[in-house]
Amino acid sequence: MMRAIPDILSPQAVADLRARLLAADWIDGNATSGAQSALAKRNRQLPEDSPVAADLGGQVLDALGRSPLFVAAALPLKVYPPLFNAYSGGEAFGTHVDAAIRIRRGSDFRIRSDLSATLFLSDPDDYDGGELVIEGGLAPQRIKLPAGHMLLYPANTLHRVEPVTRGTRHAAFFWIQSMVRDLAARTMLFDLDQSIQALGAALDPGHAELVRLTGLYHNLLRRWADA
């Protein structure tokens, strides 16, 4: 399931965050790469232990918690502290798959990466190239979302970032371990949740069928969740 989650950050929040990114010290993006990714990756990144990265990552985590659509789609158990990258001058990230287990350096924090997330921090008109390309299906999906919007996609998909030939593409990226590991089960729960939300806007909250569907959702989540 690949899903765009709009308005994770407001325009003002994006502007404030980007101002701090522009003033920050950047390092080679391969600081957090595995052996396979390092062969394909050319970009810059905030150091993982940077106070700026920690503060901005906390703001992103707070914003995720305020997004019902993100919670419904991801059913998050753990979220890796967001990282921040920048691409310009032809920098790119070739086709790769994200590591199955992500371990935060210098800590015992680790997650199984069920989902990957890219939170766009630059508007599409600010740079050329830089599309996030997701392989699979009948044709690759090329995504370039407005600043403040996020793409959520399975971490086991092949994907790449096209070369940025003008301007700079800033983004936050991170991984999610879901309470529901199975993609098909998680997708069914999301569809059921969205139907319940739509019916809840049209029916009395105490309507018998709405109560029945809500009970079904929670019983399925109880059966499938690892929490």
Q: What CATH number did the domain enclosing 196 receive?
A: 4.10.860
Residue 39's CB is within 10 A of a number of other CB atoms, namely 11
Same domain, 47 and 99: yes
Residues tagged in the binding site annotation for Fe cation: 96, 98, 159
Q: Are residues 146 and 215 in the same domain?
A: no
Q: What is the CATH number of the domain that holds 94?
A: 2.60.120.620
Q: Residue 33's pLDDT is what?
A: 54
Neighbour tally for 222: CB within 10 Å? 9
pLDDT value of position 163: 98
The boundaries of the domain holding residue 157 are 3-178
Number of domains observed in the structure of the chain: 2
Write out the binding residues for 2-oxoglutarate. Answer: 169
Residues 123 and 213 reside in one and the same domain: no
Q: In whole angstroms, what is the distance from residue 128 CA to residue 187 CA? A: 33
Residues 198 and 142 in one domain: no
Q: At what angle do helices 51-65 and 11-22 cross, to 10 degrees?
A: 170
| Shared-domain flag, residues 28 and 132 | yes
Closest CA to 192 of 157, 167, 219, 172: 219
> Are residues 95 and 195 part of one domain?
no
pLDDT tens-digit profile, the chain (227 residues): 899 999 999 999 999 999 999 999 999 977 665 555 556 789 999 999 999 999 999 999 999 999 999 999 999 999 999 999 999 999 999 999 999 999 998 889 999 999 999 999 999 999 999 999 999 878 899 999 999 999 999 999 999 999 999 999 999 999 999 999 999 999 999 999 999 999 999 999 899 999 999 999 999 999 999 98
pLDDT given at position 36: 56
Q: Which residues are annotated as a binding site?
A: 96, 98, 159, 169
Same domain, 75 and 146: yes
Predicted local distance difference test score (pLDDT) of residue 40 = 79
Residue 43: name the closest of 81, 90, 83, 82 by CA. 90
